[in-house]
Amino acid sequence: MNIEIRDLYFTYPGGVEALHAISLNIKSGEQVAIIGQNGAGKTTLVKHLNGLLLPTRGQVFIGDWDTIKHSVAKLATRVGYVFQNPDEQLFSKNVGMEVAFGPRNLGFNGEQVQALVNDALAMTELSDKTETNPYDLSPTWRKMVALASVIAMDTPIVIFDEPTTGQDALNITRIAHAIKALRERGKTVITITHDIDFCAENFERVIAMGQGNVLLDGKTNDVLRQDAILATTYVDPPQLTRLAKRLGFKNTVRNQEQFLAELRTNYTL
Amino acid sequence: MAIVNLQNVTYKYPLTHMPVLQNISLQINEGEFVAVVGPNGAGKSTLCYTLAGFVPHFFKGEISGSVEVAGMESSQSTLDAWVMNVGLAFQNPFNQISGAKYTVFEELAFGLENIGVPRDEMKARVTNAMDLTGISDLANRSPYSLSGGQQQRVALASILVMQPKVLVLDEPTSQMDPIGTREVFGVIRKMAEQGMTVILVEHKVEWIAQFADRVIALKDGQLLLDGTPSEVLTSPILEESGFGISRYTAVARKAHGLGLWKTDRLPVTLEEAAEGFSFTPSPSLRSASQSPQGKGERRP
Amino acid sequence: MHERLSFFVKRDSPIHRLNPMTKVVLALSLVLIAFSSPWYWTPQAIFLLAIIPLTFIARVVKEYWSFFLKVILATVSFLFIMQSLFLPGESRIIFEIFGLEVTELSAQLALRNATRIAVMISSFTILLLTTHPSELMSDLTRRGLPGQFAYVIISSLQIIPQMQAKAQTIISAQRARGLDTQSSFFRRVGAIVPLVGPLVFGSLVEVEERAIAIEARGFTSTRAKTSLHEIPDPSSERVIRWILIALVLVSITLKLWLS
């Protein structure tokens, strides 16, 4: 399920032009992180993918569907969107029912729903909490319920809006695992994040936005090399990227494996 | 002189079975900048509430042990005395805006109106707090029209006007974007440098490694570690218990295992990591980089 | 601009400069006199000789008339029509439609009642157009209104629009989970829980945090409160208030005496 964005412009009703001339393609199965200041247009862009916003000019295609021609409910069969604040989604009596809400809306039958729910709960380590009321869980676990609710919809494309905000290291690891599992199933994963270390370690492609424009778009290592442009997004490069640069390594580094590999290459007795 | 003295504090919220704080003993001296790390659910927020007097006075529940902060003792003083001495700010700036005032200036004065500060002094304190937090140019704006970072600074300023002796901050940058995070950390650092006693709960380990005097690690309601950033943040216990540690520490530990990090002392900041790895580059790179370290000089 | 729910229009006018309490007393007096005075033409007189001139003196003509056309006119017209058709009373029939009669008497009473309502809505509109809610609440608190009560009213003015924004986000989040907000009525009724649930639960979480935040700023302190802004209350206004109250009492007395 490819995503094609053609010359997208978007202006909010108040007159603010939030996106200018965005053209990009995201192929099936890609893992993309979108970074940038608040107000750069990240959420505005991503809301065009499931029809919550429609272009002022230009087109957005999800597979062969032009988003203008399909309702948000229809597009939800192809694009799952996990909002930043789980408390803006959770309402059910228990976790099981909450997670079943999405797939039910999409028209799966009872058996299918059950299978999808069980699968999503396993991926998010919630299998033992099926009967718990979501609001009896800590905010950390409520986040996982929100994730599970969308994963259960089994959409080919999944969008995460700031999944790691306020989370501790353990939960970030859980979220990273869930994203990895989605990748292994061939899903396209798009994430908006301020956590540059999380971004660098889990995503192969990075799009940096600023003031409604795409400033950078490419492989993570290539994007991280562009200090000057990245600086305009006020995002500090990942810790290991900075360290590698400081030590004068030739290649840009984005995670521990790459750092250690570079270290070995540069090490002399 | 200890401005915070917790002795064997155990606390349980009402209608719950598990104590959220277990036998916590902690002394903090005036002017210290203490960071608190721990997984979610460790009791960090409850610790903050305890230092600020909300536990037990607001939340009720069962508390044992003694809590002394800024000359007040938990069982003796009431909440309105506590809030005069201890300032508390938390994650979500939106929930800290009173909603009762239409401009930032008035918002900051809200607390002072409540405690009966005379008008002239009110204006002076508000102006001063706005200077400290860099929001003077926002004085006539509505608090609801501001960015996250600006709102959080308004929240901090509205606490600072109360002139607390101790500042307790519960993850103030968790919901900020990069600019907001910088702005908020900037204010916190300034307060610490001016001698304020600051207790900061944070996940952003790299920053606290650079600026905190001391780090406390909390897990399951218990105090696991208490020491300098270097001691605590490089302890293997942290990584084992699922705490967030800086990538510098993590990668140095791995490098150590491969023989590529020579000392037993692991780095917590960029500087320490750069120093520690800098004798490993090949000759061609060593001469190319301008490291003041020179060739083969090891860290002590 | 979803920043606040209020009518207040910032202008410099003699009415704006009045003490909030004076304006409250003025509004209440106009209403009470309109309703109680035994003289038939009172409401109409008040409307023409007090309300309309006030909108000019207060320099809120445009805003008032815009509100009048949007809300007041429809309301009082409807009232007038209903009352003139349905009020009982023996007198000459002026007009008849669908078997319902409009008599001279009913028309007269309908006019008076409709105008009374117009006076009532208009007085309070002018009050709200010329008084900043914060100032009003401050003044009332100074005069004895419990602080918590004032806080609830005034924070609602700002927080409710914010909740509207939150409600929008909830709707988006649930639509993104396939919730169909455009189909049949019954489906939409079923959509209420997923929309209202998060709003309520989320708000409960926020309320606790806000309570702690204002507590941390001395909200429940028992000390005497001070205020940042001085709200002047010249003795001339105090006199005016007493005169207005006296007029109300005269009006009520006359009504009781003559009935």
pLDDT of residue A28: 94
The answer on A167 and A258 residing in a single domain is: no
The answer on C161 and C41 residing in a single domain is: no
Coarse DSSP helix, strand, coil percentages of chain B, rounded to the nearest 5 percent: 40, 20, 40
Q: Look at residue A88 and tell me if it is in a domain.
A: yes
Contact B250 A38 (CB under 8 A): no
Q: Distance between CA atoms of A157 and A81, rounded to whole angstroms? A: 9
CB-based contact C140:C225 (threshold 8 Å): no
Interface membership of A89 toward C (CB under 8 Å): yes
Omega before B56 cis (within 30°)? yes
Mean pLDDT along residues A111-136: 94
CB-based contact A252:A225 (threshold 8 Å): yes
The answer on C72 and C118 residing in a single domain is: yes
The answer on A265 and A177 residing in a single domain is: no
pLDDT of residue C7: 81
Q: Look at residue C158 and tell me if it is in a domain.
A: yes
The answer on A163 and A82 residing in a single domain is: yes
Average pLDDT, chain B: 89
The answer on A157 and A34 residing in a single domain is: yes
The answer on C236 and C127 residing in a single domain is: yes
Range of the domain at C110: 14-131+231-258
List chains adjacent to chain B, taking adjacency as at least 3 C-beta pairs closer than 8 Å.
A, C
pLDDT of residue A161: 95
Distance from CA of A166 to the nearest CA of B (A): 5
The answer on C156 and C125 residing in a single domain is: no
The answer on C39 and C113 residing in a single domain is: yes
The answer on A156 and A34 residing in a single domain is: yes
pLDDT in tens, B226-271: 999 999 999 988 888 878 889 999 999 999 988 888 888 899 999 9
Task: List the one residue out of B268, B177, B278 whose CA is nearest residue A236.
Answer: B177
Contact B106 C218 (CB under 8 A): no
The band of C5, judged by pLDDT with boundaries at 50, 70 and 90, is low
The answer on C115 and C85 residing in a single domain is: yes
The answer on A101 and A160 residing in a single domain is: yes
Q: Look at residue C156 and tell me if it is in a domain.
A: yes
Mean pLDDT along residues C167-189: 82
Mean pLDDT along residues B281-295: 46
pLDDT in tens, B75-125: 889 898 999 999 999 999 999 999 899 999 999 999 999 999 999 999 999
Q: Which of A73, A80, A104 sits opposite C175 (nearest CB)?
A: A73
Q: Which chain B residue lies closest to C159 (C-alpha atoms)?
A: B99
Query: Does the pLDDT value for residue B283 go beyond 60?
Result: no
The answer on C235 and C205 residing in a single domain is: no
Q: Which domains, and CATH codes, for chain B?
A: 2-240 (3.40.50.300), 247-288 (no CATH)
Q: How many CB pairs under 8 A join A and C?
A: 72
Query: Does the pLDDT value for residue C95 go beyond 90?
Result: no
Contacts of B117 in chain C (CB under 8 A): 226
The answer on A113 and A224 residing in a single domain is: yes
The answer on A229 and A168 residing in a single domain is: yes
Q: Look at residue C196 and tell me if it is in a domain.
A: yes
Could you give the dihedral angle defined by the CA atoms of residues B81, B84, B85 and B88, in that order, rounded to the nearest 10 degrees? 110
Number of domains in chain C: 2
Sign of the CA dihedral running C89, C93, C94, C97: positive
Q: Look at residue C7 and tell me if it is in a domain.
A: no
Distance from CA of B41 to the nearest CA of A (A): 8
The band of A268, judged by pLDDT with boundaries at 50, 70 and 90, is low
Q: Look at residue C220 and tell me if it is in a domain.
A: no
- The CATH number for A185's domain is 3.40.50.300
Displacement of CA A85 from its chain's centroid (Å): 14
Interface membership of C193 toward A (CB under 8 Å): yes
Contact A105 C178 (CB under 8 A): yes
The answer on A151 and A119 residing in a single domain is: yes
pLDDT of residue B293: 41
The band of B289, judged by pLDDT with boundaries at 50, 70 and 90, is very low
pLDDT of residue B296: 39
Number of domains in chain A: 2
Q: Could you tell me whether strands B214-219 and B222-227 are parallel, antiparallel, or unpaired per DSSP bridges? A: antiparallel
Query: Does the pLDDT value for residue B298 go beyond 50?
Result: no
The answer on A139 and A112 residing in a single domain is: yes
Beta bridge partners of B280: none
Q: Distance between CA atoms of B85 and B69, rounded to whole angstroms? A: 8
The answer on C75 and C32 residing in a single domain is: yes
Best mutation target, C7, C163, C207, C217, to test chain B (most B CBs within 10 A): C217
Q: Look at residue A134 and tell me if it is in a domain.
A: yes
The answer on C152 and C75 residing in a single domain is: no
Radius of gyration of chain B (CA): 21
Q: Look at residue C141 and tell me if it is in a domain.
A: no
CB-based contact A139:A86 (threshold 8 Å): yes
Least confident of A138-142, A242-246, B205-209, C98-102: C98-102
B 80-99 residues with CB below 8 A of C? Answer: 80, 83-84, 87-88, 90, 92, 94-99
Q: In chain A, what's the furthest Cα-to-Cα distance?
A: 65
pLDDT of residue C1: 38
Interface membership of C212 toward B (CB under 8 Å): yes
Query: Does the pLDDT value for residue A269 go beyond 70?
Result: no
Q: Distance between CA atoms of B28 and B112, rounded to whole angstroms? A: 28
Q: Look at residue C140 and tell me if it is in a domain.
A: no
Q: Distance between CA atoms of B130 and B116, rounded to whole angstroms? A: 20
Contact B91 A167 (CB under 8 A): no
Least confident of B215-229, C23-37, C223-237: C223-237
pLDDT of residue B177: 87
The answer on A101 and A187 residing in a single domain is: yes
pLDDT of residue C57: 93
Q: Look at residue A63 and tell me if it is in a domain.
A: no
Q: Look at residue A173 and tell me if it is in a domain.
A: yes
Interface membership of B51 toward C (CB under 8 Å): no
Range of the domain at A175: 30-49+71-239
Q: Tell me the ipTM for this assembly.
A: 0.88
Distance from CA of C168 to the nearest CA of A (A): 10
Mean pLDDT along residues A225-235: 88
pLDDT of residue C220: 87
At C14, list the tokens: 């003699």
Q: Which of B180, B245, B285 sits opposite A266 (nearest CB)?
A: B285
The answer on A165 and A105 residing in a single domain is: yes
The answer on C33 and C123 residing in a single domain is: yes
pLDDT in tens, B28-83: 999 999 999 999 889 999 999 999 999 999 999 999 999 999 999 998 898 989 99
Task: List the one residue out of B20, B22, B19, B23 whose CA is nearest residue B8.
Answer: B23
% of chain C with per-residue pLDDT over 90: 45
CA atoms within 13 A on the CB side of B75: 7
Mean pLDDT along residues C141-164: 86
Mean pLDDT along residues C157-165: 85
pLDDT of residue C19: 93
Q: How many CB pairs under 8 A join B and C?
A: 109
pLDDT of residue B68: 95
Q: Look at residue A122 and tell me if it is in a domain.
A: yes
The answer on C157 and C99 residing in a single domain is: no
Distance from CA of A89 to the nearest CA of C (A): 6
The answer on C86 and C176 residing in a single domain is: no
Contact B277 A247 (CB under 8 A): yes
Q: Look at residue C116 and tell me if it is in a domain.
A: yes
Mean pLDDT along residues C146-163: 86
pLDDT of residue A236: 87
Q: Which of B54, B80, B109 sits opposite C228 (nearest CB)?
A: B109
- Where do runs of H (alpha helix) occur along chain C? 14-17, 20-36, 42-46, 52-57, 61-67, 73-86, 104-130, 133-142, 147-175, 185-190, 192-215, 235-258
pLDDT in tens, C231-248: 888 999 999 999 999 999
Q: Look at residue A15 and tell me if it is in a domain.
A: no
Contact B247 A197 (CB under 8 A): yes
